[in-house]
Amino acid sequence: MKSIYSKLIFGFFITIVASFSVAGFVSLRLNDQQIESTVEEDLITTNDYVSKVISNINIENRDDIIDLYAKSSEMAITCYSNSEGYVAYGNKKYNPTPEQMMAMFKSTNNELSFKHHNEVLAYGTKNMINGQEYYIYVQKDTSGQKSAIANSAILILGCVFLTGSIVFLVIADIIVKPLTRLTNAIKELSNGNYNVRVDNVGQDEISKLNQGFNQMARQLAKQDETRQKFISDISHEFQTPLTSIQGFANILKEEDLPKEQRVKYANIILYNSKRLSSLAKNMLQLTLLDREEIELELTNYSLVEQMNRVISTQENQAMEKNIEIVFEMPKKEIFIEGDEQRLEQVWTNIISNAIKYTNEGGLITITMKKNSKDIEVSIEDTGIGMSKEVVSHIFERFYREDKARNVEGNGLGLAIVKSIVDLHHGKIDILSQVDVGTNFIVRLPIEKQKLIERLKR
């Protein structure tokens, strides 16, 4: 049984057979006992009735009355006495022989109740009637009643089984069909069709399963699109410096090149090799940041000191473009719990980007403050700014605005920034206006810092 449909049918069949067998056995046993109890009461009543008829000497046609009663009640009545001998009434099939009646007459002193062949119930008593001893033996066949009950039970169980089977097949079909569609959809998905979807009407478990599948398919489609774009972007990013390196390496093979040109071409090769190295390094870092099991090396340190250190490393780059970096230091020292090395890369990447996209003579302003729930760091420049469309894609890998293509970079810096801030459960907001400037606002939660401060007290 490979399919769930066959398993459901087999399970239903086993359940029905087992439950009907137990229910049928118990009900038939109870009915048999009830029938036998009722028949025993009838036998005692009949025995008393026959005794009264015999004792009434004024009744004419006594034998006809008893015989009619025996036939109407479907009983066999047998009487024996020394004066009247052996007399049988009703169904002669069950009447004992004269010899048997004589033996029971002689041996019986008390009431006797017993069965013959498990279906015929018998009741015999010795009574003193009009000064004579009479042995009255009454029998009744219960097989007809038991058969009628059994046949009715079988008919009922058959109807229940047939109706239940039809209902179960309909229900099984309702259950199995969505699973079959889901199975086919999974096959399509495994073959690379990420646009496949299944119906998810309702709120039952199967509908929720279909919803989960559709959500997974959408995520896979998005991941596949991202993967394709990533491959295209990375191919482009690698191809440009590689082409440059190959071209100028071939030129350097010429022996009659002047020294100045050799140095120039060698510097170009060195520059492009550094680009490739930086690209590979950033890609490796993004891969590490994407791993769910990555653990931050959390320490409690001065954010002001860290920012001063980052600014000092970027000053030369800013001075080349005559850009001023202003750090509005807070009145009080601000300590933060975080991965110091990775957060330093966040400030470095944002400030470096601000310098790249700010024209000569521009200004970069850095502020920080501590709020009740978070620490806010603002890095604002007077650069070329960005449109809303660009802002919505700015953290995507390899994304670069067309007018910024001539600026050195590979479009991975801000993706790294976003990943690091997310790992710290922080948030980045961007306020930007074209040809006016951009403001990156980083907010990092301080719940853990408050706990550390309490422990230090």
Identify which of 200-214, 219-233, 346-360 has the greatest average pLDDT. 346-360
Alpha carbon distance 210, 227 (integer Å) = 25
DSSP code of 396? S
pLDDT of residue 141: 81
Mean residue pLDDT of the chain comes to 80
> Do 311 and 352 meet the contact criterion of CB atoms below 8 Å apart?
no
pLDDT, mean of residues 145-174: 77
pLDDT of residue 3: 66
- The dotted CATH code for 211-290 is 1.10.287.130
H/E stretch holding 328: strand 324-328
pLDDT of residue 453: 46
Q: Under 8 Å CB-to-CB from 230, ≥6 apart: which residues?
A: 397, 398
Alpha carbon distance 112, 119 (integer Å) = 17
pLDDT over 70 at 410, yes or no:
no
pLDDT over 90 at 428, yes or no:
yes
pLDDT of residue 403: 47
Across 191-220, b (16+ Cβ under 10 Å) vs e yields eeebebebebeeeeebeeebeebbeebeee
Q: What is the pLDDT of residues 74-120, one digit of tens each?
A: 888 988 888 888 988 887 777 888 888 888 887 765 555 455 556 78
Fold of 298-456: Heat Shock Protein 90 (3.30.565)
pLDDT, mean of residues 388-408: 68
- Confidence band, pLDDT 50/70/90 cuts, at residue 401: low
Identify which of 35-39, 109-113, 182-186, 389-393 has the greatest average pLDDT. 389-393
DSSP code of 228? H
pLDDT of residue 366: 95
pLDDT of residue 195: 82
Q: State the pTM of this model.
A: 0.50
pLDDT over 50 at 223, yes or no:
yes
Alpha carbon distance 311, 233 (integer Å) = 31
pLDDT of residue 310: 92
Pair type for strands 324-328 and 112-116 = unpaired
SS3 59: coil
Identify which of 137-146, 158-167, 243-252, 421-430 has the greatest average pLDDT. 421-430
The tokens for 93 are 């099939």
Nearest C-alpha neighbor of 442 from the set 374, 393, 354: 374
Alpha carbon distance 182, 345 (integer Å) = 46
Task: Sketch the domain layout of the chain as residue ranges.
Answer: 4-146, 211-290, 298-456
Fold of 4-146: Beta-Lactamase (3.30.450)
> Do 81 and 135 meet the contact criterion of CB atoms below 8 Å apart?
yes
Phi, psi of 451 (to 5 degrees): -65, -45
